[in-house]
């Protein structure tokens, strides 16, 4: 299937068309249509809804541990109600459960929401639509990809309910803490479930990633040259390549950890005395784990970020009614970021005992990434320059993304500098940095995508005013949560501390922690506006028109119905790039990609 060209699929489709009179009547059982669907549009919705549920879980966790951090020792009925008497006795959070919450919060957000949820939803929805394909190269693998993701989500969620509690060694699960059940209760069954869940997650990610790459390379419709693809598709392609190359390393990392845990091997363990006895393991090194983990872990940052940047490129251009500025530079930057992301992982390890000279190399490669990142930020801003900006909720979130990408990006320059990293490594300065640059940017990109492509996903419109309310609550509260954390970092507060009030050093930081927590609670409640808008609009939103945002890309040429094969007749033929907005001499301020070039008309930015 992988090598099948679009033309062959097309023949197959037309033959199929002859046999069955009308696709829409084509009998599909409920299970085929809604459960084990092989249709990219349905799979995309399945990913999105699963991710929304996981995000609500992870966000609720963050509210619980933020309450503990702002008001340590206070009794909260809410905490007792959420965690029960075992982990929230008298409404006070248990220290082990605190670590479990930060661990699972991070794991769910990074992997299940911003990797599975973001790529799974939008790569699935947009790749076939925007390259002009009937579906993914392999609908079956695509279905498997979702169901592996689903099972993995279920296992991760189930681990919250076991007796010893879920994994609690931090989302980076460094051994020996994660390897030794004596070290922390979360390293008993909880960690095994975490490792199994993540392995299934990687299977899902690989099945999806292979499909995305093959579909983009082989199933582009006639005229859809690589240099005519929307930047969304470029972003998903590069993301998928990063995932396919780096996720397998996480599996090897995880398998070796499983061996250390269960089979008595010593890949990561050496010279350990715990639980009143010396262990037999000698010769292993936790630093090996860190190398393997971050070999995935750093590309993972861009696996999270690039799809959001791709979505934003599309939304900013459409809503500014202007071509994306520097289309080729945008592709070049993404390729450069993708390449560099593989040779920077050591900047997570400056303080691990790794040879300082090796650290120097990673300082250099890491700071190089700032260049393509800066180019992207400048290009977004210049795209808005002299535009005719239409403030859809998607556009608001895209602007929010550019802002957080810059605000969080600049502190990366500090952290990439090993000298400066010495004193802020593993402090709240790092927490602030990655939440703003990766967390906020990616989730803003995801919101932008949901608001923008909701009409294609659910054939209805979301409510604009509620979208506005949601955006302003989210943007202001997000900065209210994460900006003050820089100052906690400057005061030297280490991350993953259950409380900052156990010794005097941080006693003067109480108000910072309170502001952070209050903003987190308001921001979390604000997401209720989104949840309501989302679920309400699925069933009761206004009916979506053909092309609500006057966009150029191919998905808006498909009928407003979910039909198998996307286009009822033959596939569209592409004649121009995706960014002919406000082109001089045109009647309207957009020209869909299927409109042929006029005589003497230049295509794209090639002049």
State the binding string over 427-456 for other proteins (x if CB under 8 A, else -).
Answer: x-----------------------------
Rg (CA), the chain: 24
Contact 554, 129 (CB under 8 A): yes
Q: Which of these segments, 144-152, 224-232, 461-469, 567-575, binds other proteins (CB under 8 A)?
A: 461-469
Contact 348, 305 (CB under 8 A): no
C-alpha 388/C-alpha 602 separation (Å) is 23
For residue 199 the two structure tokens come to 């392995």
List, in order, residues 6 or more apart from 214 with CB less than 8 Å away.
Answer: 2, 137, 138
Q: Among residue numbers 23 through 52, which ones bind other proteins (CB under 8 A)?
A: none
Residue 265 C-beta: closest distance to other proteins, Å: 14
Q: Among residue numbers 202 through 241, which ones bind other proteins (CB under 8 A)?
A: none
Name which of 127 and 485 has its Cβ closer to other proteins: 485
C-alpha 301/C-alpha 438 separation (Å) is 7
Sole binder of other proteins in the list 35, 364, 535, 596 (CB under 8 A): 364
Contact 110, 194 (CB under 8 A): no
State the binding string over 380-419 for other proteins (x if CB under 8 A, else -).
Answer: xxx-xxxxxxxxx---x--x--xx--xx--xx-xx--xxx
Burial of 584 (0-12, 13-18, 19+ CB in 10 A): exposed
Q: Among residue numbers 179 through 198, which ones bind other proteins (CB under 8 A)?
A: 180, 183-184
Residue 304 C-beta: closest distance to other proteins, Å: 22
Residue 536 C-beta: closest distance to other proteins, Å: 8
Residue 485 C-beta: closest distance to other proteins, Å: 11
Sole binder of other proteins in the list 1, 14, 351, 525 (CB under 8 A): 351
Name which of 34 and 391 has its Cβ closer to other proteins: 391
Q: Among residue numbers 248 through 307, which ones bind other proteins (CB under 8 A)?
A: 269-274, 278, 282-287
Contact 178, 268 (CB under 8 A): no
Q: Which of these segments, 24-32, 142-150, 238-246, 358-366, binds other proteins (CB under 8 A)?
A: 358-366
Name which of 423 and 546 has its Cβ closer to other proteins: 423
Q: Residue written as tokens 């906020």?
A: 440
Positive or negative, the CA dihedral 202, 208, 210, 212 is negative
Sole binder of other proteins in the list 4, 56, 162, 177 (CB under 8 A): 177
CB atoms near residue 536 (< 10 Å): 14
Residue 223 C-beta: closest distance to other proteins, Å: 19
Task: Please calculate the CA angle 255-261-267 and round it to the nearest 5 degrees.
Answer: 65
Q: Among residue numbers 471 through 510, which ones bind other proteins (CB under 8 A)?
A: 472, 475-476, 479-480, 483-484, 487, 490-492, 494-505, 507-510
Contact 418, 367 (CB under 8 A): no
- Confirm or reject binding of residue 522 to other proteins (CB under 8 A): no
Residue 338 C-beta: closest distance to other proteins, Å: 17
End-to-end CA, the chain: 38
Residue 533 C-beta: closest distance to other proteins, Å: 11
Alpha-helical (H) ranges within 116-188 are: 118-131, 139-158
Instruction: Tell me the number of residues near other proteins by CB under 8 A.
Output: 130
Q: Which of these segments, 45-53, 212-220, 363-371, 553-561, binds other proteins (CB under 8 A)?
A: 363-371
Residue 327 C-beta: closest distance to other proteins, Å: 7
- Confirm or reject binding of residue 595 to other proteins (CB under 8 A): no
SS3 267: coil
List, in order, residues 6 or more apart from 399 with CB less than 8 Å away.
Answer: 316, 384
Q: Among residue numbers 123 through 152, which ones bind other proteins (CB under 8 A)?
A: none
C-alpha 239/C-alpha 206 separation (Å) is 11
What's the per-residue H, E or C state across 57-110?
Answer: HHHHHHHHHHHHHHCCCCCCHHHHHHHHHHHCHHHCCCHHHHHHHHHHHHHHHH
Name which of 139 and 176 has its Cβ closer to other proteins: 176
Q: Among residue numbers 560 through 589, which ones bind other proteins (CB under 8 A)?
A: 579, 581-584, 589
C-alpha 531/C-alpha 605 separation (Å) is 40
Residue 424 C-beta: closest distance to other proteins, Å: 9
């Amino acid at each position: 299937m992988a090598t099948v060209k679009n033309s062959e699929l097309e023949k197959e489709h037309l033959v199929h068309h002859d046999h069955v009179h009308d696709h829409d009547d084509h009998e599909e059982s409920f299970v085929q249509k809604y459960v084990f669907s092989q249709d990219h549009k349905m799979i995309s919705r399945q990913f999105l809804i699963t991710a929304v549920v996981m995000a609500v879980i992870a966000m609720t966790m963050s509210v619980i541990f933020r309450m503990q951090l702002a008001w340590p020792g206070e009794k909260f009925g809410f905490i007792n109600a959420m965690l029960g008497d075992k982990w929230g006795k008298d409404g006070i959070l248990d220290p082990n459960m605190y670590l479990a919450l930060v661990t699972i919060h991070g794991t769910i957000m990074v992997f299940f929401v911003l990797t599975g949820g973001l790529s799974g939803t939008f790569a699935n929805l947009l790749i076939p639509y925007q390259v002009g394909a009937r579906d993914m190269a392999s609908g079956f693998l695509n279905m498997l990809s979702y169901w592996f993701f689903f099972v993995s989500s279920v296992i991760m969620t189930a681990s919250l309910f076991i007796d010893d509690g879920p994994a609690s060694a931090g989302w980076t699960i460094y051994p020996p803490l994660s390897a030794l059940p004596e070290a922390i209760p979360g390293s008993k069954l909880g960690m095994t479930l975490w490792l199994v869940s993540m392995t299934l997650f990687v299977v899902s990610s690989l099945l999806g990633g292979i499909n995305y790459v093959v579909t983009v390379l082989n199933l582009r419709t006639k005229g859809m040259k690589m240099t005519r693809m929307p930047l969304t598709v470029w972003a998903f392609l590069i993301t998928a390549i990063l995932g396919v190359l780096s996720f397998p390393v996480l599996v090897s990392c995880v398998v070796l950890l499983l061996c250390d845990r269960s089979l008595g091997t010593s890949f990561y363990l050496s010279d350990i005395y715990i639980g009143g006895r010396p262990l037999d393991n000698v010769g292993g090194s936790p630093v090996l784990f860190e190398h393997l983990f971050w070999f995935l872990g750093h590309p993972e940052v861009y696996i999270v970020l690039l799809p959001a940047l791709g979505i934003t490129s599309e939304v900013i251009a459409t809503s500014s009614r202007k071509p994306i500025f520097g289309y080729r530079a945008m592709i070049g930057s993404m390729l450069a970021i993708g390449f560099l992301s593989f040779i920077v992982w050591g900047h997570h390890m400056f303080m691990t005992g790794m040879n300082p000279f090796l650290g120097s190399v990673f300082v250099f490669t890491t700071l190089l990434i700032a260049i393509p990142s800066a180019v992207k930020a400048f290009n977004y801003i210049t795209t808005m320059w002299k535009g005719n900006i239409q403030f859809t909720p998607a556009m608001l979130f895209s602007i929010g993304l550019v802002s957080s990408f810059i605000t969080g990006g600049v502190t990366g320059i500090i952290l990439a500098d090993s000298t400066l990293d010495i004193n802020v490594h593993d402090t709240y300065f790092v927490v602030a940095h990655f939440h703003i640059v990766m967390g906020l940017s990616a989730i803003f990109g995801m919101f932008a995508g949901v608001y923008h492509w909701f009409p294609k996903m659910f054939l209805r419109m979301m409510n604009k005013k509620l979208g506005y309310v949601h955006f302003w609550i989210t943007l202001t509260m997000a900065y209210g949560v994460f900006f003050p954390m820089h100052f906690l970092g400057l005061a030297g507060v280490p991350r993953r501390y259950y409380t900052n009030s156990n010794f005097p050093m941080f006693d003067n930081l109480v108000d910072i922690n309170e502001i952070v927590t209050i903003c987190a609670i308001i921001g979390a409640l604000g997401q209720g506006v989104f949840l309501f808008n989302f679920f309400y609009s699925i069933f009761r939103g206004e009916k979506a028109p053909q092309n609500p945002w006057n966009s150029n890309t191919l998905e808006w040429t498909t009928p407003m119905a979910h039909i198998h094969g996307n286009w009822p007749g033959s596939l569209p033929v592409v004649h121009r790039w995706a960014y002919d907005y406000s082109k001089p001499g045109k009647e309207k301020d957009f020209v869909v990609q299927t409109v042929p070039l006029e005589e003497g008309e230049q295509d794209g930015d090639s002049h």
